[in-house]
Chains A and B, each alone.
Chain A
Amino acid sequence: MIYSLILRVAVRLLVPLLLLFAMFMMLRGHNLPGGGFVGGLVAASAFVLYALAAGVTRAREVLYVDPQTLLGLGLACAYGAGLLALALGKPFLTGLWLHPHLPLIGDFHLGSALLFDLGVMLVVVGTVLLMVFSVEDRLPGLVEE
């Protein structure tokens, strides 16, 4: 944890922005550069920044679930996306598509690839935070009192 007023104030602005940007990166990744991995790194960096400003204990509280649980849930999403196809009698990991017509948005492509990407994102967030939190817990100078 770094005692800095500037960082604390800046983090309040940056964390929501980074999380929003992470979601944008993930959704954009379907056809353009981006995707779950990059999105996950950005989202993880938001929590890392928060941990630097407010301490790991506080960051863990804000994250609400353990990084390990995120990892597990991410894997479950990714496997689920593959197994969904299997359940419908198609080969494992076959892309499935829904085309619902939504009010205001119009035609909408919803694919199992999105679920997979979400899984990747959760796994990346979980992994990065697991590493950073456990290292930062032990770094001299960054330990909370």
Chain B
Amino acid sequence: MNTLLVLPIMVPAITGMAALLARNYPRVQRALSVLGATVMLGVGGALVYQVQSHGILAAQMGNWPAPFGITLVADHFSAALIAVSGFVGLAVAIYALAAIDETRERFGFHILFHLLLMGINGAFITGDIFNMYVWFEVLLIASFALLVLGNDREQLDGAVKYVGINLVSSASFLTAIGLLYGLTGTLNLADLSQSMQPVREAGLGPAIAMLFLIGFGIKAALFPLYYWLPASYHTPPAPIAAIFAGLLTKVGIYSLIRVFTLLFPNPGGYTQAVLLVVAGATMLLGVFGALVQRHILRLLAFLVISAMGYVVMGLGFFTTLGLAGAIFYVLQDVPVKTTLFLIGGLMERETGTTNLSKMGGLYQHRPLLATMFIVPAFSLAGFPPFPGFWGKLTLLQAGVAQEQWTLVAVALVVGLLTLLAVAQVWGRAFWRPKEGELTVLDALNTRILTNGPVVVLALALFVLGCYAEPVFSFARTAAAHLTDTGPYVQAVLGG
């Protein structure tokens, strides 16, 4: 059991290290990268299976007992996220074989990619708030380097904003941890959830909650702190942007849900109101941004923001149904966003432009790509039978149960506007006829490597949409464990 919990961190770590030692042999590096990502997918699957059959798993690092050492915990939520990130990680690793140029490979793309996965998995699996901060730094450092890899002027411009705002986020997160530690004397999340009394007595609950909201809100790109995302995500090559869009904001949202459900289960005062307002504003402004964009990757970046609003809405209700909807939505949103960005990269490759107004003819000349685009795009807009529909349906049900009519209305309107945004992409880039043929630039080999992962991701999403029940019941169990923290605390602290 112990071994399995360490693997999500150690597999990418060892892959990255081996890729570093093999840096002069690009072919070995590529093989290692795909091998490591494959093993990681297997580990993710095993973790989900173990959690499903044995309940929440915990392991004490270095054999130090629970509140003192660092604990790794896998509950349903984190295990599912690790499995999903393993899945998209493998898809992106394969896509990157064809889409990442040699210069970027030589400057350590494969190494940094696996370090990024290590940071993401670490943040998902740790049961210690300071350790979570450390994993955030690991994934941030890796993402900084991936963002500027290649040294384009545009990339540096995006990276400056990204680094700057993330420093603020880290500072806020660290301040909150410091305050918590000063008041309770513990950093273990399970132990913290038992010893929040001094914080409540000091009247600092809402203040610390807000500090966490700022810290994680910047990472999850929530209103009003999202502007760094559309400014930076379109600058790196498609595989890097895809893994950022698929997973980085999800780490922020995961931490937000984890911290709020464990430490602030019944937030007093303005916390809930703030969360709900933030959720509504994030949804609306994200989709407004997408509607006016003509740059395909920037448009998708705004849609990433809009989707985060739905998840925060599910958290803001503080009910099991709301959380179940939020978890299901996150789980399907990871492959949706990754697929969309990978397709965005392919659209750019095929047409030679990022400007939607200049694209065209993709439906006629690249029917496979067009078909693949439908799945994530309509999932995003919440069309049945795609998985986004089930997520949004559950969230709306939770909203109706809470009688949050304004937010339900906003969510419905945003769903409609999202449909409009993706329909614009469809109309401009795919349906609009274009004179002459699109030139085939890439060799067959390259085309298989780039289109293959996209096809697999889209098919997986389609199957998930038609057969959502197993994943949904898993999400419901995960949500039940988040509202009733008893089993989590017991798994970590024992007895």
Contact = CB atoms under 8 A, between A and B. Distances in A.
Contacts of B3: 86, 92
Contacts of B281: none
Interface in A62-84: 68-69, 71-73, 75-76, 79, 82-83
A77 to B, nearest CB: 10
Contact of A91 (B17, B20, B23, B63): B63
Nearest to A75: B17
B6 A69 contact: no
Contacts of A34: none
Chain B interface: which size bin?
A: 10 to 19
Nearest to A74: B17
B14 interface: yes
B468 interface: no
A13 to B, nearest CB: 34
A73 B18 CA distance: 9
B17 A92 contact: no
A79 B17 contact: yes
B409 interface: no
Contacts of A29: none
A26 to B, nearest CB: 20
B20 A75 contact: yes
Contacts of B59: 91-92
Contacts of A86: 2-3, 6
Nearest to A83: B10
A58 interface: no
Nearest to B63: A94
A69 B17 CA distance: 10
A93 interface: yes
Contacts of A73: 21
Contacts of A12: none
B379 interface: no
A91 B21 contact: no
A71 B60 contact: no
B63 A79 contact: no
Nearest to A87: B3
Given A83-B10, A86-B3, A92-B6, A72 B61 contact: no
A28 interface: no
Given A75-B17, A76-B17, A92 B23 contact: no
A92 B20 contact: no
Contacts of B17: 72, 75-76, 79
Interface residues of A, number: 18
B359 interface: no
A91 B2 contact: yes
Contact of A71 (B14, B18, B20, B63): B20
A85 B62 CA distance: 9
A95 B62 contact: yes
Interface in A22-74: 68-69, 71-73
Nearest to A94: B63
Interface in B1-50: 2-3, 6, 10, 13-14, 16-18, 20-21, 23
Contact of A68 (B20, B60, B62, B63): B20
A89 to B, nearest CB: 9
B7 to A, nearest CB: 10
A94 B62 contact: yes
Task: Pick from A73, A86, A93 the residue with the most CB of B within 10 Å.
Answer: A93
A69 B63 contact: no
A118 B86 CA distance: 31
A86 B23 CA distance: 28
Contacts of B60: 91
Task: Pick from A79, A82, A92, A94 the residue with the most CB of B within 10 Å.
Answer: A92
Interface string B386-408: 00000000000000000000000
A21 to B, nearest CB: 28
Contacts of B14: 79
Interface string A86-108: 10001111110000000000000
A139 B20 CA distance: 26
Contacts of A94: 62-63
Given A68-B20, A71-B20, A95-B62, 12 more contacts: A72-B17, A72-B18, A72-B21, A75-B13, A76-B17, A79-B14, A86-B6, A91-B2, A91-B60, A92-B2, A92-B59, A94-B63
Interface of A: 68-69, 71-73, 75-76, 79, 82-83, 85-86, 90-95
Interface of B: 2-3, 6, 10, 13-14, 16-18, 20-21, 23, 59-63
12 contacts: A69-B21, A71-B20, A73-B21, A76-B21, A86-B2, A90-B63, A91-B63, A92-B10, A92-B59, A92-B62, A93-B62, A94-B63
